[in-house]
Chain A
């Protein structure tokens, strides 16, 4: 859950603003970025929790832009001395030599540490979730890393201190093996901890089911995507192609700006203000206040996600970075899709024969060509509008424009948060992302049996 109580960087905020203001010369733009990340992690197997770990990481970066060139200088530590050090280095590289008055460092906040009753209770909740998910682990082998991660970020500009927010999430990644099959597992939730553990238990229960022997049909197929699976589709098919990168014509959707690409009634928005979803923030990692950005409006391409590099002062607040060492880039936050009026039965009925996809574990899009792949972990056959047997994992592929054109005109009646939507990795940089979508019917995708 996102909180606006970013207290950790406020102690020297005034001083920091002064330092950043003094660093920038005429014609330069830039800011300082501070991050603190606290992780309490457990390794786990089918037998339960094994080894605990606690990690505190923090860092400071300054970013300076002059004309077409930009510079980022980063180092570990988030205190006043780290800020002075990175500003010194950035100025040195620009040929300057700033002078700082030495000030006594403010006292550090005392952290409750890993021994507190809260942490004991959280470990018990995780252990209980594992026990519920795997009541009989015979025949199953699991290697999982489960972590509660709290990330605090703030941007210091020449004008002021901008908190990005403090977000806490529960993550789990690893591998589950049964005789004859291996599957990767990825989960994250920003819900309150007890609810997140319940969601983890449900996701693990689903992932631990034996792989169905029934193969998915091969070739062209009509597919109903559950709300969870539909969130991944929108992320890959609409979100990534509308991240502003490399000019206006490098993506299949930016080349058809304002064109009608999907049936009327579909509204897709990247909304970082939805605090209950992973990927939300108060301000982006460049200090621009978060705001919803429509991507599809009534089926028409309506917007592009931008940062300062791609839009200058017109940025719409989607400059995000994986950590303080990396420069921000235009990235998705939480993608929300408006609900329609169809019930699940109506969607299945309209599908007739095909597949009902419950879970997509990963996806990939080439924005240039528009080809995308969705890796389906859990799905059922649909026959005469009714759910049939579960099928083995398979891959769905198509291209973005064809898939959107063949989208059925009516979406499901509930836009549900996708609790399992995990980290989005682009250029090797993982970022939490969220989504909320109704179920949808897509016609004419290509199914290829097998698991990635």
Chain B
């Protein structure tokens, strides 16, 4: 990172600190980003390159907060605008500028991030097209593939002494695929996200895309019943993603309190441990600091089925009387930070190979893909998955299942998990990622 001569960061910070003697605190955030998107369909190739530079200011006074954001051209006016809004804010416990990070060196002003490599991006699209053709024997058509590579640098400084900068990168591939058989037509969008382009897992995405459009066309529907249930990592990850808000320090904890008798009971079976870790291998997020500049760490929120911790930003940590876990998240520079996940996943460290799990199915259903948005209602303790997959007998897949509904009490599903696989995979979720290995739930009545 190099220091451009015209950086207004220090000037904005000085303006945000102007009323510090009156008990007002301030935070200045700068983001510089570069993105490349290649969209390829049957006939066209479209390339988009974009750069951005944005500033945001938050002011704090006696529990009140206000927020203002703009591009670089108007950044100097942000403290004044936020100050005008501050008087209209209501008091909220815990709101304050983040304190200094011990041992952090004063960063240099941000330079522009490294531009993504367009030649490598084109190579990835070609590789995915080949992987899809190989996985489907030509039975599945790629309607469109959109690859987005992004890089950004961020800096956060507060009047309480914090001043850190950090950088990150991301890669996302979205493919629209379709298939036509004698049983009908189907199309679907599949998504892979990773912290690096080379970690996208193109072959895995291609196999998932093929299952997603062909299974509904070649199998038979399965009526609900009582059988063993094996959830593919990508199906299980969609449930894990929807569990995450229950562990936000900001959220009403009705679900956790009601299901665990205020923490006295286990929420899930001992096989399930849930973790948030910004450095998890294979996870779509790979960052060192959160959006408030707090260093990120591995946080175990559910240990062997029991509540262990909450995910917090600075304000929520203050309210809970705990240390901030580094889970403040900004979708864009123009949005105030809120609690979110980095890589939130079911820990596979005690898992066994998924083939061993498959062999343990006497008579059951392997849910390979979701056919629609999963329905998980934490407050009502209900879930419903519309899935396709395979009917399994004595550890062998015997029939394709075109669709079935898996539904019931979420708490019963979580307490019914007997074993987890060692094949952790992630899906994009809420700015970060949610992940799970294969989950085994014996004798599920769905």
Contact = CB atoms under 8 A, between A and B. Distances in A.
A247 B42 contact: yes
A74 B49 contact: yes
Interface residues of A, number: 60
Interface in A352-410: 364, 366-369, 373
Contacts of B92: 50-51
Contacts of A54: 67-69, 81-82, 85
A327 interface: yes
A179 interface: yes
B85 A72 contact: no
A241 B170 CA distance: 32
Contacts of A58: 71
Interface stretch (A63-71, A200-208, A268-276, A413-421): A63-71
Interface string B52-73: 1110000000001111111111
Contact of B50 (A50, A73, A448): A73
Interface stretch (B8-16, B184-192, B229-237, B277-285): B184-192
B380 A181 contact: yes
Contacts of B144: 246
Contacts of B88: 49, 52, 120, 123
A311 to B, nearest CB: 13
Contacts of B379: 177-182
Interface string B389-411: 00000000000000001010000
B89 A51 contact: yes
B52 A76 contact: yes
Contacts of B352: none
Contacts of B188: 366
A438 B280 CA distance: 52
Given A113-B84, A366-B187, A76 B89 contact: no
A451 to B, nearest CB: 6
Contacts of A179: 254, 379
A182 B380 contact: yes
B71 A427 contact: no
Contact of B48 (A48, A113, A326): A326
Contacts of B254: 141, 177, 179
A73 B186 CA distance: 34
B264 interface: no
Given A48-B90, A179-B254, A364-B372, A68 B44 contact: yes
Interface string A29-48: 00000000001000100011
Given A55-B69, A57-B70, A368 B185 contact: yes
Interface string B28-49: 0000000100010111111111
Contacts of B48: 71-74, 325-327
Nearest to B375: A452
Nearest to A89: B49
A181 B89 contact: no
A452 B197 CA distance: 32
B375 A369 contact: no
Contacts of A70: 44-47
Contact of A327 (B39, B85, B405): B39
Given A48-B90, A54-B81, A327-B39, A373 B372 contact: yes
B85 A68 contact: no
A302 B48 CA distance: 33
A210 interface: no
Interface bracket on B: 35 or more
B443 interface: no
A349 interface: no
B373 interface: yes
Contacts of B407: 450
A56 B89 contact: no
A70 B69 CA distance: 32
A281 to B, nearest CB: 22
A309 interface: yes
B418 to A, nearest CB: 26
Interface string B173-213: 01010100000111111000000000000000000000000
B108 interface: no
B382 A56 contact: no
B50 A71 contact: no
A114 B85 contact: yes
B384 interface: yes
Given A76-B54, A325-B35, A55 B372 contact: no
A56 B69 contact: yes
Given A76-B54, A177-B252, A181-B377, A246 B67 contact: no
Contacts of A57: 54, 69-71, 334
Interface in B306-324: none
Contacts of A427: 146, 174, 189
Given A55-B70, A369-B187, A113 B372 contact: no
Contacts of A250: 143, 178, 187
A72 B185 CA distance: 33
A85 to B, nearest CB: 9
B74 interface: yes
Nearest to B217: A369
Nearest to B54: A76
Nearest to A123: B88
A79 interface: yes
B334 A246 contact: no
Interface in B241-276: 252, 254
A115 B373 CA distance: 43
A367 B64 CA distance: 48
Interface in B76-125: 81-82, 84-85, 88-90, 92
A134 to B, nearest CB: 16
A11 interface: no
Contacts of B377: 181-182, 451
B7 interface: no
A217 interface: no
A68 B45 contact: yes
A160 interface: no
A430 to B, nearest CB: 12
Nearest to A397: B372
B349 interface: no
A313 interface: no
Interface of B: 35, 39, 41-54, 64-74, 81-82, 84-85, 88-90, 92, 143-144, 146, 174, 176, 178, 184-189, 252, 254, 334-336, 372-373, 375, 377-380, 382, 384, 405, 407
28 contacts: A43-B336, A49-B88, A50-B89, A51-B89, A52-B67, A53-B67, A55-B68, A56-B74, A57-B334, A68-B43, A68-B45, A71-B49, A72-B49, A73-B49, A74-B48, A75-B50, A76-B71, A76-B72, A93-B49, A141-B254, A180-B379, A182-B380, A250-B178, A325-B50, A366-B186, A368-B178, A369-B185, A369-B187
7 cross-chain pairs, A with B, having the tightest CB-CB distances, nearest first: A368-B187, A53-B67, A74-B50, A72-B48, A182-B379, A56-B70, A115-B84
Given A53-B66, A182-B379, A369-B184, 14 more contacts: A50-B90, A51-B65, A54-B82, A55-B68, A56-B70, A68-B43, A71-B46, A72-B49, A75-B51, A76-B53, A177-B379, A180-B379, A327-B39, A427-B174
